[in-house]
Amino acid sequence: MKVELNGIPIFAGNFDDLMKTLYQRIKGDQKTAVISANPEVLHYLISKNFKFDDEYIFIPDGIGTCLIVLVSKGKILKKIAGIDVFYEMLRSSGKLNLKLFFLGARDEVIKRAYANAIDKFNAKVVGYNHGYFDSHEEETIVDKINLLSPDVLFVGLGCPKQEEFIDKYKDKLNVKLIVAVGGSFDVLAE
Ligand code: UDP
């Protein structure tokens, strides 16, 4: 269920296939990092010769990536947006007993996003941190996340900061699933 684009395996199933895969991997304690591969992110990954392992799933976030795949590979992909994964997990975290952590956005924004996640979705958000930190603060943030041991970490720092953070700390983070969500906290905060 993948199509290879310049060495990057792009998830080629639909949204339900993806969610099934993610929930199965959470259940099986298989760490996973979901990267929204829009053209900007793809460009970053390719230009940096980004090294990835089996824990990564690259989703075709946006019509741009689907068009690139169609033109270069002749394959029709269903667009899957990172924000849809985010909202689906907000809705199901209570039922599935999944603990969530939010990392990213401005301080007042992430506070509002947290409040809305609880009020509107009854989501199990165990903690949050804004996304405007210096590199020397990163380890402290990783420790804070690990202390709360969430199942799912959403990282919304924009590209390429979120991809770099995930790459650098994926192995140290004691979480089952990491999802790059771009500006999704701003949307939830509205
Ligand atoms: N952001 C952050 N730290 C930074 C830079 C950006 O937390 O150092 C946040 C920003 O506040 C916004 C998100 O990252 O919430 C990026 O949103 P954008 O719409 O640019 O990302 P995209 O969805 O286009 O990847």
Q: Which residues line ligand 1 (CB under 6 A)?
A: 104-106, 131-132, 156-159, 161, 182-183, 185-186
**Model pTM score:** 0.96
Give which of 125, 109, 81, 127 is closest to 185, Cα–Cα: 109
Phi, then psi, of 5 in degrees rounded to 5: -125, 110
Report the separation in Å between the CA atom of 75 and the middle of ligand 1, taken as the mean of its atom positions.
31
At 134-146, the pLDDT tens digits run: 999 999 999 999 9
Total count of domains within the chain: 1
Sheet containing 177-180: which strands, arranged edge to edge?
A: 2-5, 8-11, 56-59, 32-36, 177-180, 152-156, 100-104, 125-129
- Residue 147: pLDDT band by 50, 70, 90 thresholds? very high
Q: Is the peptide bond before 60 cis (omega within 30 degrees of 0)?
A: no
pLDDT at 67: 94
Distance, CA of 24 to CA of 180 (rounded, Å)? 19
At 61-112, the pLDDT tens digits run: 999 999 999 999 999 999 999 999 999 999 999 999 999 999 999 999 999 9
Written as six digits, the tokens of 165 are 């953070």
Boundaries of domain holding 104? 2-189
At 6-47, the pLDDT tens digits run: 899 999 999 999 999 999 999 999 999 999 999 999 999 999
* Confidence check: pLDDT of 187 > 90: yes
Report the separation in Å between the CA atom of 37 and the middle of ligand 1, taken as the mean of its atom positions.
15
* Confidence check: pLDDT of 1 > 90: no
pLDDT at 157: 98
Give, using CA atoms, the residue closest to atom 14 of ligand 1. Answer: 157
